[in-house]
Amino acid sequence: MKRDSRFTDEANAYCQLAVSILPSSESPTIKEVREADEKLFTKGNEKLIGTFKGTLQEEHVKVNCAEIPITIYIPIDVNRDKLVIFFHGGGWTSSSRKTHQTMVNTLADDPMYILTPATLDWLKLHAFHDANDLKDPRVSVLLNKSFNTLPPCLFIAAELDPLRDDSYAYQELLDKAGVKTKLLLVKGVLHDFLAFPGTYPKACTQAVDVIQQFVSEL
């Protein structure tokens, strides 16, 4: 299949890697997806694994009747008056703190698989009990009724992401509510580029630079 001419060299390299690792089946099991996911993140970021200069702490946060495991990344020689909270992706079915740790390492150290309609259908099938779950604002922030109490928001959108327009829609709602927003459109990249700094070094550097600037202005 011919790729979109807007694909950058980094996006093409990622696609070649993803095709060689991700399940070829149209209906893979959750186990197969999770195993391939781990392998893809490891291979895509292998040049950066183990380069974090700080320390890690494993903790648990109590929420209602459950405990959520978290990893605290503490960099060396940086001002600690600000905190970045990172929620990893995965469509409620795959990925983990481990798969996204390279991007978190990059953010901490420097204060500075492709979505298709079929993939989205697979995620909905395996992540939710029924169609009613799709009406929950925790699934889509666009379903919230009020936005005026939200903090300043930075959107980093991938040009070739099927979900890109959701960022535009959400930014518009926040703007109307008087919330400070900024949006960076990263050209020629796919949905999960930010989780692959080892494969998308230029695109991720662009995004991290904007994150730095946005946080410094808060």
CB of 114 within 8 A of CB of 18? Answer: yes
* Average pLDDT of the residues in 116-138: 71
pLDDT recorded at residue 110: 55
pLDDT recorded at residue 11: 92
Q: What whole-number distance in Å separates Cα of residue 80 and Cα of residue 42?
A: 29
- Ramachandran quadrant class, 188 (left: phi over 0; alpha: psi -120 to 50; beta: rest): left
Residue 143's pLDDT band, with cuts at 50, 70 and 90, is confident
1: pLDDT strictly greater than 60: no
Q: Residues 20-26: contacts with CB within 8 Å, 24+ apart? A: 22/113, 26/118
Residue for token digits 């909905």? 124
Give the CATH fold of the 9-216 domain: Rossmann fold (3.40.50)
pLDDT recorded at residue 37: 83
Give the pLDDT confidence of 161-180 residue by residue, as tens digits.
988 999 999 999 999 999 99
Q: What whole-number distance in Å separates Cα of residue 157 and Cα of residue 181?
A: 13
Mean pLDDT over each residue of the chain, to the nearest integer: 83
CB of 158 within 8 A of CB of 187? Answer: no
Instruction: Return the closest-CA partner of residue 194 out of 184, 51, 32, 137.
Output: 184
Give the pLDDT confidence of 42-68 residue by residue, as tens digits.
888 888 777 778 888 889 999 888 898
What ranges do the domains of the chain cover?
A: 9-216
